[in-house]
Structure 1
Amino acid sequence: MNAGPPTDDVRARILAAVDDLRDEMTTSLQQLVRVPSVNPKYPGVEYREHVGKEGEGSAVLAELYERAGAEVELFAVEAGRENAVARLGGGEGRSLIFNGHVDVVPGGDPAEWQVAPPFAGEVVGSRMYGRGTTDQKSGLIGQAYAAIALRRAGIQLAGELQLQCAVGEETVDYTCGTGAIVERGYTAEAAIVSEPSAPPTPVSLAVVSPGLLWFSVTVEGIKVHCSMRGETIHPHRAGEELGVNAIDKIFTIYQALRGLEQEWVQTQRHPLFYDGHFSLLPGVIRGAPGDLAVPFALSDSATIEYTAMFHPERDGADVRAEIQGVIDRAADSDPWLRKHRPVCEWKLQWDPYSIEPGADINTTLAAAYKEAAVGTRFAPEPTFTGFYGGCDATVLKKLGIPSVVLGPGDLRVAHANDEYVDLDEMWLAARTYALVAADWCGVKP
């Protein structure tokens, strides 16, 4: 008898197995959150203090993958930063990847967390609090337990299911993480990335993401004693021959880019993103008189670090040219900046990913969600939406693997104090993952 789609009886067994594992899922997530797997290359952290923790997190997933009966490999491009990858099933059906990342951003000041410390993994009601609960350890745990449930239900997949726990995503370090995994031969016909895909509704199907640019703009000034401020700004006094405050000049650039952002609000629209999502964030500003962070002299340098989220149908090079043009025109309008040009440093370009909503993997995934949600408090129909940030779906797409994002958690609490995940969302995601694996890969009789 040939392999095929799961029968109604098999589907019921799969869902029952996931439900029986619900408490264990919570315990495993708590264990994983308590591993402070901060990306050691995250800006502002000391590499040596954090390297190795990603590997500890991957080891937790490797044990779960082994429980699922998978063949597991741990490997690292950089020592201590092991990826955990696993294979199960295979031979007759289609292949599928479950992908997620184990690295997290820093927890920040524990005193600013109101519910529990960043890596406590404390459960309050239906929520677990802690760094990485939403972004995105709950997704990894949900995927792992979907595979465990398949084994518990006695299901053998006809096609191959791969479980990928990657490092490096938070710093776009795909050469250590997802990119290295695929280059090692772990490829498939489709992938589901378990990044948090709410809002607008929990566990949505995110089929497109914006592009992202990280850049800085720096302007120079002339340092002089703070008592000379009036001399430098009065039109009948010494002016720029005596001193120039770089902070004043950087705000000329800020205002110009703020104008561009407002233009994007009016002109850059997409049906799967809320109006205004495509934006220019001035996230960091620095300015001082040399190395002295005191206001006793005019600042001779000022820098603003920006993140630009741009429309997924735009080319990154074109967006860069547009931003540079706005900066250049702002400089042309200022006598000082005309002679002392602002310096742009382009630090990162992260391209969008997209997949047609009607693609086979999306149709299969949507049907799995619809069945998994029956009898729950969640919406009976899945929502197709945009993924608000960047993620490794871009890497998978570039390497030829159609990818969609679906996972528990809400990006509005990711990277924030008191990050949390709704444990019911993780359970719903695990039910969905288990069904979609059986549907996509097929099951052996």
Structure 2
Amino acid sequence: MTHESARHIANAVLESIDAEIAGNAAQAERLLVDLVSFRSVNPLQPGVNGADYEGEERRANEALAAALTPLGFEINWIEVAQGRPNLVGVLPGTGGGRSLALNGHIDTVAPQAGRFADPWTAVIEDGYLYGLGAADMKAGHAAMWLAAAGLRNAGVSLKGDLHVHSVVGEETMSHEIGTTAILEAGYAVDGALIAEPTSPAPQLLNVSNAAAGNYLFSLTIRGKSAHWAARNLAIRAGGAGDAIGVNAIDKAVYVYNAMRQLEEQWAFTKKHPSFAPGAFIIHPGVLRADIGVEAAPFFPDRARIDYLLSFPPGNTAEQIRAEVEEHIRLASQMDPWLREHPVEFIWTDTWPPAYTDPSEDFVQTVMSARTELAGIDGRVTPLDAPITAAAQSDANFYEAFGIPALVCGPGDVRNAHAANERVALENITAAARLIARTALSWCGTN
């Protein structure tokens, strides 16, 4: 067969796949409406009563499994947290090819008051589908299904296995019960594409290869309760100072300023070529101080600050934790009270940074597929190289297993976690075309 003949056949196959994707777009839309209808709120979200949403993640994954089964996927369940199973759909390859995982989290954030009374009843207006989880990231699930349907209906058999990993826990960094649980169960792959939202209008299908790590933590500062009117004796010359009382808010401000100093140092010491200067931050999100009840006439004897920080690839969570604690320890040595009553840290959840080298074969495969799509779809603008992700995703945990991972999906991250969350329906079709092309090139076909 000549090179020209091979190219003609390849183009014919792609045209057939694209036609099947277009023909099944309405069915993908119905699947998304169905997935939105499940109240799959992550039960560990702050302020959420988990009992209100018990079993909903499972029901959503069961609906996705029912859609994948007719396409030839073998359905497997990985359940670490009781009642919250992960779906692993595997479309077996014919052999000799590389495997590819398509990943999406089925859990959502809690609902907010918006335009529509029921966030779980999808509303379609002007080419957009509104509903909780539509952009983040059930539209990604619809795109995965649509790509797989396009391949199967076009008669394409992949050499490598194609996985769909639909996971729980992502919205609360609970990877141990989600993506990590799947990988530890033996469903490792040669490459992973996470269909998180990367299509901020008017851009479409950005590809991200890097994401910052983060760490959620809190620190508690102890004080000494006293009557509010004794403040002058505690802080003015001639008074008894700490022997009278210590206002934990005063000490919290001292610690806050020390943490802010560290954050300013990070603008110069925390660097990575994929990130703009100063990208890594130490964000104070919650401040509490009281004596056990909210009562202004007392010195509060405890204060707590909750932080969320970000850090670059090349640093580990353990290194970051040690650096933060050491900085606060040294700063506390300058304060007599804090020197004797050290700040107490609680380190809660961490997301490791992700970085897949742009020279990796998997990156080149995905970028080539995107370039090819940009040549026939004017809405997909050229992209010379992958970009940095706007937020963390489960790509980080594939990377932790040594699996190259990229993020690309139909949603707009600016609409994620929003009161009126929405996704452009035409983006789902475009994402499916990219996924199908990636699977063809990466997994191989006969």
Assess, with a 3 A threshold, how the Cα gap between structure 1 residues 270 and 368 changes in structure 2: closer, same or farther.
Answer: same
Between the aligned partners of 1:210 and 1:199, the Cα distance in structure 2 is 19
Residue 134 (str. 1) matches residue 138 (str. 2): no
Q: How much does 1:420 deviate?
A: 2.9
Assess, with a 3 A threshold, how the Cα gap between structure 1 residues 382 and 105 changes in structure 2: closer, same or farther.
Answer: farther
Between the aligned partners of 2:278 and 2:123, the Cα distance in structure 1 is 35
Contact 2:358 2:385 in 1 (8 A): no
Contact 1:14 1:435 in 2 (8 A): no
Q: What's 2:99 paired with?
A: 95
Contact 1:205 1:382 in 2 (8 A): no
Between the aligned partners of 2:23 and 2:231, the Cα distance in structure 1 is 71
Between the aligned partners of 2:205 and 2:262, the Cα distance in structure 1 is 33
Contact 2:204 2:379 in 1 (8 A): no
Contact 2:61 2:106 in 1 (8 A): yes
248-257 or 321-330: which moved more? 321-330
Assess, with a 3 A threshold, how the Cα gap between structure 1 residues 34 and 280 changes in structure 2: closer, same or farther.
Answer: same
* Equivalent residues in 2 for 1:271-310, closer than 5 Å: 271-290=273-292, 292-310=293-311
Contact 1:169 1:392 in 2 (8 A): yes
TM-superposition CA deviations, 1:210-244 (whole Å, max 9, x none):
12111111001122233333443333334332222
Q: What's 1:345 paired with?
A: 346
Q: What's 1:143 paired with?
A: 144
Q: What's 2:237 paired with?
A: 235
Q: How much does 1:117 deviate?
A: 4.7
244-253 or 316-325: which moved more? 316-325
Contact 1:253 1:327 in 2 (8 A): yes
Contact 1:67 1:148 in 2 (8 A): no
Contact 1:26 1:423 in 2 (8 A): yes
Assess, with a 3 A threshold, how the Cα gap between structure 1 residues 267 and 124 changes in structure 2: closer, same or farther.
Answer: farther
Q: What's 2:395 paired with?
A: 393
Q: What's 1:270 paired with?
A: 272
Contact 2:28 2:145 in 1 (8 A): no
User: For residue 348 of structure 1, what is the amino acid of its counterpart?
Assistant: D
Assess, with a 3 A threshold, how the Cα gap between structure 1 residues 90 and 142 changes in structure 2: closer, same or farther.
Answer: same
Between the aligned partners of 1:229 and 1:135, the Cα distance in structure 2 is 50
Q: What's 1:439 paired with?
A: 441
Q: What's 2:172 paired with?
A: 171
User: For residue 41 of structure 1, what is the amino acid of its counterpart?
Assistant: L
Assess, with a 3 A threshold, how the Cα gap between structure 1 residues 146 and 44 changes in structure 2: closer, same or farther.
Answer: same
Q: How much does 1:116 deviate?
A: 5.9
Residue 226 (str. 1) matches residue 223 (str. 2): no
Q: What's 1:192 paired with?
A: 193
Q: How much does 1:332 deviate?
A: 1.8
User: For residue 102 of structure 1, what is the amino acid of its counterpart?
Assistant: I
User: For residue 287 of structure 2, what is the amino acid of its counterpart?
Assistant: I
Between the aligned partners of 2:164 and 2:191, the Cα distance in structure 1 is 12
Assess, with a 3 A threshold, how the Cα gap between structure 1 residues 308 and 65 changes in structure 2: closer, same or farther.
Answer: same
Q: How much does 1:185 deviate?
A: 2.8
5+ residue gaps, structure 2, are none
Between the aligned partners of 2:13 and 2:272, the Cα distance in structure 1 is 40
Assess, with a 3 A threshold, how the Cα gap between structure 1 residues 328 and 13 changes in structure 2: closer, same or farther.
Answer: same
SS in 2 for 1:378: coil
Q: What is the count of residue pairs matched by the alignment?
A: 438
User: For residue 240 of structure 1, what is the amino acid of its counterpart?
Assistant: D
Q: How much does 1:132 deviate?
A: 2.0
Q: How much does 1:75 deviate?
A: 4.1
Contact 2:57 2:84 in 1 (8 A): yes
Residue 33 (str. 1) matches residue 24 (str. 2): no
Residue 8 (str. 1) matches residue 48 (str. 2): no
Between the aligned partners of 2:261 and 2:84, the Cα distance in structure 1 is 42
Identity fraction in percent: 36
Assess, with a 3 A threshold, how the Cα gap between structure 1 residues 15 and 235 changes in structure 2: closer, same or farther.
Answer: farther
Between the aligned partners of 2:276 and 2:131, the Cα distance in structure 1 is 28
Between the aligned partners of 2:131 and 2:249, the Cα distance in structure 1 is 37
TM-superposition CA deviations, 1:32-55 (whole Å, max 9, x none):
122121122334433333331110
Contact 1:143 1:430 in 2 (8 A): yes
Q: How much does 1:416 deviate?
A: 3.8
TM-superposition CA deviations, 1:176-225 (whole Å, max 9, x none):
22222223332222111112235694322211221211111100112223
TM-superposition CA deviations, 1:376-405 (whole Å, max 9, x none):
323133651122333222222233322222
Q: What's 2:58 paired with?
A: 55
Assess, with a 3 A threshold, how the Cα gap between structure 1 residues 221 and 104 changes in structure 2: closer, same or farther.
Answer: same
User: For residue 279 of structure 2, what is the amino acid of its counterpart?
Assistant: H
Contact 2:94 2:157 in 1 (8 A): no
Q: What's 1:427 paired with?
A: 429
5+ residue gaps, structure 1, are none
Q: How much does 1:314 deviate?
A: 1.9
Between the aligned partners of 1:420 and 1:267, the Cα distance in structure 2 is 38
Residue 69 (str. 1) matches residue 59 (str. 2): no
Q: What's 2:255 paired with?
A: 253
Between the aligned partners of 1:340 and 1:424, the Cα distance in structure 2 is 59
Assess, with a 3 A threshold, how the Cα gap between structure 1 residues 218 and 429 changes in structure 2: closer, same or farther.
Answer: same
User: For residue 30 of structure 2, what is the amino acid of its counterpart?
Assistant: T
TM-superposition CA deviations, 1:44-94 (whole Å, max 9, x none):
433333331110111121122123222222342333212222122412322
Residue 154 (str. 1) matches residue 158 (str. 2): no
SS in 1 for 2:177: coil
375-384 or 16-25: which moved more? 375-384
User: For residue 129 of structure 1, what is the amino acid of its counterpart?
Assistant: Y
Contact 1:62 1:74 in 2 (8 A): no
Contact 2:61 2:166 in 1 (8 A): yes
Contact 1:278 1:310 in 2 (8 A): yes
